[in-house]
Amino acid sequence: SDHSLTYPKSPAEMDWAKYYPAYAAHKIEEQEKEKDAEGESHDLEQIPPMEGKATTQPVEIADIGCGFGGLLFALAPEFPDTLILGMEIRMSVTEYVQEKVRALRVQNASTSAYQNVSCMRANTMKFLPNFFTKAQLSKIFLCFPDPHFKQRKHKARIVSYTLNSEYAYVLKPGGIVYTITDVEDLHKWMVGHFEKHPSFERVGEEEQEQDVCVKLMRKETEEGKKVERNNGPKYVACFRRVEDPAWP
Ligand code: SAM
């Protein structure tokens, strides 16, 4: 149940620095002030005053329903300069991922590895635009979403016309939604819903197969590994956020 979850009123209210302390804007500002005190050259004037909650750059990759975070920990070194966020509804699973992030950051203290990855507890079916601004994200992953097989449960699926409009809102034009599942019916459902949405076009097979993210989501997700062990099928489909049509 998610009744204990709270949501920011707007993305600006989010305490992003808590999730990515190495990227905290106020910390960078303090470092510049220290340099200033030591008489080093600096460009503090160019840095706007930041609130304590902001990071120097926004989250750009979201893994929705990240589970135990296998994909997150593979994406982090692949995109070392990009902030990556897993979103997960189960509290204990979120805590597991957060603990793993902490441990990896400590183990890699001499480098900045894994400072760019974090996990948040959230029900992504609710208020996604409260977390991210319009066109903030460049990639959204929907990996092995719960299938909700029964017809009357379909409304619980994380792909629907309404939710696709939210994904379209937070994705920048050219940004990509990645989907993978072992359930053929769900694959067809996701393809159908994205293809009929005017903000998305399906990415061609050749481009899809060259994308490193597709390789990672097949190989590094916990579900992907499980399906591999059982020799099950993996259906992949990716969708590009197209430009909004110009106003007449
Ligand atoms: N993506 C991971 C993988 O591929 O290994 C986990 C897949 S698992 C089958 C689905 C995950 O989505 C679960 O961890 C579940 O708790 C999470 N989930 C389901 N509904 C969600 C929601 N509305 N918001 C956030 N997470 C959700």
| Ramachandran region, residue 126 (left: φ > 0; alpha: ψ -120 to 50; beta: rest) | beta
| Residue 196 shares a structural domain with residue 179 | yes
Q: Which residues are annotated as a binding site for S-adenosyl-L-methionine?
A: 65, 88-89, 123-124, 143, 221-223
Q: How far is the CA of 155 from the centre of ligand 1 (A)?
A: 15
Residue nearest atom 24 of ligand 1, based on CA coordinates: 123
* Over residues 195-219, mean pLDDT: 97
Determine whether the shortest distance from the Cβ of 223 to ligand 1 is under 6 A.
yes
Tokens 């996990």 -> residue: 119
| Residue 193 shares a structural domain with residue 73 | yes
**103 — pLDDT class (breaks 50, 70, 90):** very high
What percent of the chain is modeled with pLDDT above 90?
77
Q: Is 230's pLDDT higher than 80?
A: yes
Give me the domain span that covers residue 187.
57-241
| Residue 133 shares a structural domain with residue 73 | yes
Q: Taking the CA atoms of the chain, what radius of gyration do you get in angstroms?
A: 19
Residue nearest atom 27 of ligand 1, based on CA coordinates: 65
Mean pLDDT of the chain: 91
Task: Give 172-195 pLDDT, tens digit per residue.
Answer: 999 999 999 999 999 999 999 999
| 149 or 70: which leads in pLDDT | 70
| 152 or 232: which leads in pLDDT | 232
What is the tally of structural domains in the chain?
A: 2
121 in any annotated domain: yes
Angle between helices 70-78 and 212-219 (to 10 degrees): 150
| 175 or 12: which leads in pLDDT | 175
| Residue 219 shares a structural domain with residue 101 | yes
| DSSP 8-state class, residue 125 | T
CA-CA distance, 241 to 42, in Å (whole number)? 39
Which pLDDT value is given to residue 244?
Answer: 87
CA-CA distance, 34 to 32, in Å (whole number)? 5
| Residue 45 shares a structural domain with residue 105 | no
| Residue 42 shares a structural domain with residue 143 | no
| Residue 86 shares a structural domain with residue 35 | no
* Over residues 76-105, mean pLDDT: 98
247 in any annotated domain: no
Q: How far is the CA of 68 from the centre of ligand 1 (A)?
A: 9
Single pTM value for the model: 0.91
Nearest one of 113, 116, 104, 136 to 12, comparing CA atoms:
136
Q: How far is the CA of 65 from the centre of ligand 1 (A)?
A: 3
| Residue 77 shares a structural domain with residue 34 | no
| Residue 19 shares a structural domain with residue 63 | no
Determine whether the shortest distance from the Cβ of 125 to ligand 1 is under 6 A.
yes
Nearest one of 154, 140, 141, 126 to 180, comparing CA atoms:
141
Domain boundary among 56, 78, 107: 56
Determine whether the shortest distance from the Cβ of 160 to ligand 1 is under 6 A.
no
Determine whether the shortest distance from the Cβ of 67 to ligand 1 is under 6 A.
yes
9 in any annotated domain: no
Which pLDDT value is given to residue 170?
Answer: 97
CA-CA distance, 201 to 232, in Å (whole number)? 27
| Residue 119 shares a structural domain with residue 188 | yes
Task: Give 128-164 pLDDT, tens digit per residue.
Answer: 999 999 999 999 999 999 999 999 898 988 999 899 9
229 in any annotated domain: yes
| Residue 44 shares a structural domain with residue 157 | no
28 in any annotated domain: yes
* Over residues 69-93, mean pLDDT: 98
Q: How far is the CA of 1 from the centre of ligand 1 (A)?
A: 13
100 in any annotated domain: yes
Tokens 């590094």 -> residue: 220
Task: Give 33-59 pLDDT, tens digit per residue.
Answer: 776 777 665 554 554 545 568 999 999
Which pLDDT value is given to residue 43?
Answer: 53
Which pLDDT value is given to residue 38?
Answer: 72
Determine whether the shortest distance from the Cβ of 217 to ligand 1 is under 6 A.
no
Q: CATH number, domain at 176?
A: 3.40.50.150
4 in any annotated domain: no
| Residue 119 shares a structural domain with residue 208 | yes
246 in any annotated domain: no
Angstrom CA distances, 187 to 15, 85, 123, 124, 190, stand at 35, 24, 22, 19, 5
Long-range contacts of 241-246 (CB under 8 A, 24+ apart): 241/168, 241/171, 241/172, 241/173, 241/174, 241/175, 241/176, 241/177, 241/199, 241/200, 242/173, 242/198, 242/199, 242/200, 242/201, 243/173, 244/173, 244/199
Which pLDDT value is given to residue 40?
Answer: 60
| Residue 182 is a catalytic residue | no
